Amino acid sequence: MQEIIKIDYPVKESLKNLFDSYNCELNNLNSFVADYKRNVYELFKSQTFPTLKDEGWRYTNISSLVNLKLSFPDYKTHDGDIYYQNDYLNIDSYKIIFYNGKYLKRFSTIEELIKKNLIVFSSIAEELKNPSDEFKKYFASLVDNTRIFNSINSIFFEDGYFIKIKEGVQLQKPLLAIYLYGNQNSPFISPIRNILIAENNSKADIIEASFNIDDSIVFENNIVEYFGYEGSEINFIKLQQNNKESFHYSDLIAEINANAKFKGYVFTFGSQITRNEAELKLNGEYASGHLYGLFIAKGKTIIDNHTQMSHIKPNCESNQLYKGILFDRSRGVFRGRIRVEKNAQKTNAYQSNKNLLMSEFATINSKPQLEIFADDVKCTHGATVGQIDENALFYLRTRGIDKENARSMLILAFANDAIENLYNENLKEQLRTIIFKELSK
Amino acid sequence: MLSIKNLKVKVEDKLILKGVNLNVKAGEIHAIMGPNGSGKSTLANVLAGREGYEIIEGEIIYKGLNLLDIAPEERAREGIFLAFQYPVEIPGISNATLLKTALNEIRKHRGEPELDAMEFMELMKEKMKLVEMDINLINRPVNQGFSGGEKKRNEIFQLAMLEPKLAILDETDSGLDIDALKIVANGVNMIKKQIQDKAIILVTHYQRLLNYITPDYVHVMYDGKIVKSGSKELALELEEKGYDWIKNGKNY
């Protein structure tokens, strides 16, 4: 076993090869980013992919990923209208469309916001050529490249968004970033790197949706660095629906400053292997951070949620509620860490993970971790695993509702409190529809 | 409408029903009485199609259908309704959602158009009045946090909404105070009056519900069999003499 670990996996070999060709292209980029990427690559060369022996990956076997040979997407196969027709989220919103990792300005509808000076927007591709001072200020300040999935992103990202919601602005409609993937013959990588800034007292909903339009295999790797300033209130909603051959890695790192509120919603319907990481840093007094997760896994897929609530300053509150629904031979993982620094007195932290096992072969590994260095804190956590209530199922059936429908209703009911907190009715309705469809697949 | 012949049912290897015979015609109300553990609730559950019951022998014919061959939801669509002894709490599903889904499934089965939101609301208001149910309960999760009386009333409300052909009320009177009992009884009587092609089976331990709903037949169940059948006077006799009378009679 040990020998195998020392050999580079096919995926790493392929990424090294990709970098050799990519290295020349870096010359076209501003040296600020090119140097960064080259430095991370040096780090990457000595990094290994995690195995089940790594504590943070104990339950998540990524052998199907590390045996993959990755390439860049072939952009020649772009078809301008395919993705437009696949505009599956029918939400009144300001759209930001990406296709195979590239920002498509002509399908995006945020011009109005930029013109009205409500937001600052640039694509990361633009910033790579000609970085603004602001981009330089925020870029890579939260990302931890000691982790290999992050370093892969740092080396290969070519696009994404830089958005700043201006002071006091309240967006009436959500910003909707859609990541579409498709039309490729071999497994490909095209990481996305986003920077999102909510200035003082700004309010907005941001929805991020990943979707495969066909059975092309993508290793999606999406990082968001978020900065929420005094009094800002942001709902960040992530919706992931890759196909069951693809891989999905995401990392959300959020710095939440004094009196700011951040609510993250993570709706995961799985790829072959999905790993969602999130860290909320409560970095100013009276900041609050929430994470609501709902994950539904089927077949032999794995959905792994890794969260950290970092209480850095006093008087902050955090709340995590993750709900998992696991079918067939799928595996779900929830590792939620609450870390309370010595200085973070009067912390209020709550965490709960509830799971529904729909098959005797499905597995859930739920692991809360508390690291508390302050002495005046309130921290609670809990995890449950259960099955569909047969009594309730029978009750619904005796009212004329067929078994499958009744099961879906009960699952939806179980999932409900992860959806209920959203106040956008349109989005709620669409989510219920998506969940219903996922359940009846 | 319903014909049960020599029904023998096992639960976890224990024979509970030991040969039940019962015939119910449209327009009739039957009361099935008996001491605890006599098999009354088992019979009600078998009629509704609950899993976990092993049919050893016998048959149940309902409107020409072999009932034991069809799923609970199909039975419901064919007009069978079980008011539960212990109504189930379902967090996350509102009463309105349950009823709208159920009613439309049943209407679809009958070849009737689905009700739109307005029609559904009107119907609900009308039926809620019937059982004097608080309108606020309609958007609350099914039975969650309901008092015992509210739960039973909710069963009767569902019964009124779904308009079944054969209603089976499993101990609907237990745990009710006298006012709630009257309301439940009124609800049942109203339904009975409205449609003549219906039948009702009341499963009850006590005679008191029968003060408000007059049965055409009273059956006494004991040790997995119907041991005595008669008119409504039988219930009064039972009340007077107690179940020991039946038990002793059997021992003779």
Interface test with A, best of B74, B82, B88 (most A CBs within 10 A): B88
A237 vs B: CB within 8 A: no
Range from A29-43, A75-89, A301-315 carrying the lowest mean pLDDT: A75-89
CA end-to-end distance (rounded Å), chain B: 35
Which A residues in the span 361-390 are in contact with B, Cβ-Cβ below 8 Å? 389-390
Report the percent of chain B where pLDDT is more than 70: 97
Q: Does B230 map to a domain?
A: yes
Q: Is B217 part of any domain? A: yes
CA closest to A391 among chain B residues: B88
Contact list in A for residue B48 (CB cut-off 8 A) is 394, 398
Q: Of all helices (H) and strands (E), which one includes residue B120?
A: helix B117-130
Closest A-chain CA to B141: A413
- Say if the Cβ atoms of B90 and A405 lie within 8 Å: no
Q: What is the number of structural domains in chain B?
A: 1
Indicate the pLDDT class of residue A7, thresholds 50, 70 and 90.
Answer: low
pLDDT at A77: 55
Interchain pair A391, B88: CB under 8 A: yes
| ipTM score of complex | 0.94
Say yes or no for a CB contact (<8 Å) between A398 and B162.
Answer: no
For residues A157 and A194, give the distance between their C-alpha atoms in angstroms, rounded to a whole number.
10
Long-range CB contacts (within 8 A, 24+) of A369-373: A369/A335, A369/A336, A369/A337, A369/A338, A370/A337, A370/A338, A370/A340, A371/A337, A371/A338, A371/A339, A371/A340, A372/A338, A372/A339, A372/A340, A373/A340, A373/A341, A373/A342
Give the pLDDT confidence score for residue B252 in this predicted structure: 36
- Residues in A closer than 8 angstroms to B89, CB to CB, are 392
pLDDT in tens, B203-243: 988 888 888 888 899 999 999 999 889 888 888 888 788 77
Average pLDDT, chain B: 88
Q: A43-71 burial by CB neighbour count: b if 16+ within 10 A, else e? A: ebeebebbbeeeeebebbebeebbebebb
Phi, then psi, of A83 in degrees rounded to 5: -70, -25
Q: Which residues contact B30 (CB under 8 A, 6 or more apart)?
A: B22, B24, B199, B200, B201, B202, B215, B216, B217, B218, B219
Selection from A169, A174, A220 nearest residue A198 by Cα: A169
Predicted model pTM:
0.86
Confidence of residue B180 (pLDDT cuts 50, 70, 90): confident
Interface test with B, best of A294, A399, A407, A409 (most B CBs within 10 A): A399
What CATH number does the domain containing B158 carry? 3.40.50.300
Closest CA to B2 of B161, B226, B163, B198: B198
Q: How far is B68 from chain A (nearest CA, A)?
A: 14
Please state, in angstroms and rounded to a whole number, the distance separating the CA atoms of residues A55 and A38: 29
Inside any domain, residue B139? yes
Instruction: Point out the least confidently predicted range of A69-83, A114-128, A170-184, A382-396.
Output: A69-83
CB contact under 8 A, A403 and B77: no
Cβ of A401 within 8 Å of Cβ of B73? The answer is yes
Owning domain of residue B16: 2-247
CB proximity B3 to A under 8 Å: no
Distance CA(B68)–CA(B48), nearest Å, equals 9
Mean local confidence (pLDDT), B82-101: 93
User: From the CA of B250, how many Å to the nearest CA of chain A?
Assistant: 35
Q: CB distance A403–B75 less than 8 Å?
A: no
Q: Does B111 touch chain A if contact means CB atoms closer than 8 Å?
A: no
Least confident of A130-139, A156-165, A424-433, B36-45: A424-433
Q: Is residue B13 included in any domain, yes or no?
A: yes
B121: exposed, middle or buried (Cβ count in 10 Å: 0-12, 13-18, 19+) = middle
- pLDDT tens-digit map of A258-268: 999 999 999 99
For residue B80, the chain A residue with the least C-alpha distance is: A398
Residue B251, pLDDT score? 41
pLDDT, tens digit, 9 for 90 and up, residues A87-106:
567 888 999 999 999 998 88
Give the model's pLDDT for residue A341.
97
**Is residue B235 in a domain?**
yes
CB pairs < 8 Å spanning A and B: 83
Q: Is residue B252 part of a domain?
A: no
* B71 touching A (Cβ < 8 Å): yes
Select from A319, A312, A322 the least CA-distant residue to A346.
Answer: A312
The first and second tokens of residue A143, run together, are 């990302």
Do B72 and A413 make contact, defined as CB atoms within 8 angstroms? no
Point out the residue among A392, A409, A417 whose CB comes nearest to the CB of B88. Answer: A392
Query: Which residues in A181-203 are b (16+ Cβ under 10 Å) and which e?
Result: bbbbeebbbbbbbbbbbbbbbbb
Give me the mean pLDDT over the A299-304 stretch: 96
Give the pLDDT of residue B237.
83
Q: Are residues B101 and A401, on separate chains, in Cβ contact within 8 Å?
A: yes
Spell out which residues of chain A touch residue B112, defining contact as CB-CB under 8 Å: none
Is pLDDT above 90 for A158? yes
Dump pLDDT digits (tens) for B114-163: 999 899 999 999 888 888 888 888 889 999 999 888 898 899 999 989 98
- The mean pLDDT value of chain A amounts to 92
Max intra-chain CA distance, chain B? 62
Q: Is B73 a member of any domain?
A: yes
Give B 178-217 residues with CB within 8 A of chain A: none
